[in-house]
Amino acid sequence: MEHAAILIAPDGPSGQLRGLMDRLGSAGIEVTIVDDVGTAVELVRKHDSPPALLLDLRDMSGGEIEDLRNSGELIRRVLVAVPSSLPVVVTDGASAQMVITCFRAGAADVIDLGHEGTATSRNVVQRICLRQWDRARELTTFSQQRTMVEDLLKDLIRTERRTIDAEDALAHARSGEVPMVPPAEARGPAILLIEHDRSVADDLADLLETAGIATFAYVTGEEAVREAEALAASTGLDLALVAAQLPGIDGLESIRRLRDRVPGIPAFLMTSVHDADLAADAADLGVVGFVHKPLEDIEGVVERLAQLAHESLHRTREAGYLARIKERHERVLARYRSLPREP
């Protein structure tokens, strides 16, 4: 393996740095000097084996708080840009506090130009190159293994989905009963509509039904809330479209009470007024959007609601599958989640 080093020195290779480059060069270690981290990263990518990264911190060795902060930040930037790197700090008579700061930030070693000669500098760079080579191989192997595990889990989920469907169908066939709650995968999307103007409610419901969305329309929040839990249990509900101004309890209160019975149901608010307080209260409640009356583009509104209802149903399907798969394979999934992102 050929050993190489990249020296990040914003002020160039003058004085002692030039001496360091000459000493390493005489030991067969090629040194390239750059003035910023970005250029160093580009050069690292061109090497077959990772070069050592040397950071010139001679001007940050006075022990001042700002110098310490800047030194640690530079080391962390290098580690983010090149995760497999083991940065080596180059100093000249650094204080103990500076050395400690560098090691805490992730530096792998320190070359003190005032005390270390050719042999020591060469040994540091060679050792770091070897360690980085081993680390790069470990990261590559680990990444490949993690990808393989993820592919296996994806296959497991696909297989389990089919198994769950087959088991449910077999259970229903044996019992001769139709399940009270249609599973999400066996039904289409459904919307709960609350609008006090019956003609508007009927027009919207007709268009939604034509778009393939089962729609349950009510003219008061109280009535809708009473029926919501039973509807969710018998047919499923994926979205609520609620007028802000209603007789009795208003739209926001209706949404609050709906979510007590159908937790997490996405809700749209229909309103004919532009009220900043209403918008703020709706945002606090997690309303996903507004529909403004009069409905000048009713076809566009229906298209948007249909899309959102389909998306909500898809999330419900996936959540149901994953909950059952998690229950079946909790030990396997727990071990997968415990895997570190890198060695």
Domains delineated in the chain: 4-136 (3.40.50.2300), 184-328 (3.40.50.2300)
User: In angstroms, rounded to a whole number, what is the distance separating the alpha carbons of residues 163 and 171?
Assistant: 12
Read off the amino acid at residue 306. A
Q: Please name the helix (run of DSSP H) or strand (run of DSSP E) that holds residue 281, with its range, or none.
A: helix 276-285
> What DSSP designation does 58 have?
G
Number of H helices, E strands in the chain: 11, 10
Q: Which residues pair with 56 in a beta bridge?
A: 90
Strand, coil or helix: what is 321?
helix
Cβ within 8 Å of residue 281, ≥6 positions away: 252
Query: pLDDT 10s digit of each residue in the chain, 343 long?
Result: 578 888 888 777 777 788 888 888 888 888 888 888 889 888 888 887 788 899 988 865 445 567 778 888 889 999 888 888 899 998 887 788 888 888 999 999 998 887 777 788 888 888 888 888 887 787 778 778 778 878 877 777 777 777 776 766 666 666 665 444 444 455 788 899 999 988 888 888 999 999 888 999 999 999 999 988 888 878 788 889 999 989 889 999 999 999 888 888 888 888 887 778 888 888 888 888 888 888 778 888 888 888 888 888 888 777 777 777 777 777 767 777 776 665 5
User: In angstroms, rounded to a whole number, what is the distance separating the alpha carbons of residues 57 and 54?
Assistant: 9
For the chain, the distance separating the N- and C-terminal CA atoms, rounded to the nearest angstrom, is 23
Between helix 276-285 and helix 251-261 the angle, nearest 10°, is 0
* Cα–Cα nearest to 257, from 228, 277, 283: 228
User: In angstroms, rounded to a whole number, what is the distance separating the alpha carbons of residues 149 and 169?
Assistant: 30
User: In angstroms, rounded to a whole number, what is the distance separating the alpha carbons of residues 286 and 246?
Assistant: 19
Residue pair 254/242 in contact by the 8 Å Cβ criterion: yes
- Based on C-alpha coordinates, what's the Rg of the chain? 32
Phi-psi label, residue 238: left if phi above 0, alpha if psi -120 to 50, beta otherwise: alpha
Q: Is 53 exposed, middle or buried (0-12, 13-18, 19+ CB in 10 A)?
A: buried
Residue pair 132/86 in contact by the 8 Å Cβ criterion: yes
Residue pair 302/204 in contact by the 8 Å Cβ criterion: yes
Q: Dig out the tokens for 52 from the structure.
A: 């050592």
User: In angstroms, rounded to a whole number, what is the distance separating the alpha carbons of residues 20 and 29?
Assistant: 11
Strand, coil or helix: what is 9?
coil
Residue pair 211/188 in contact by the 8 Å Cβ criterion: no
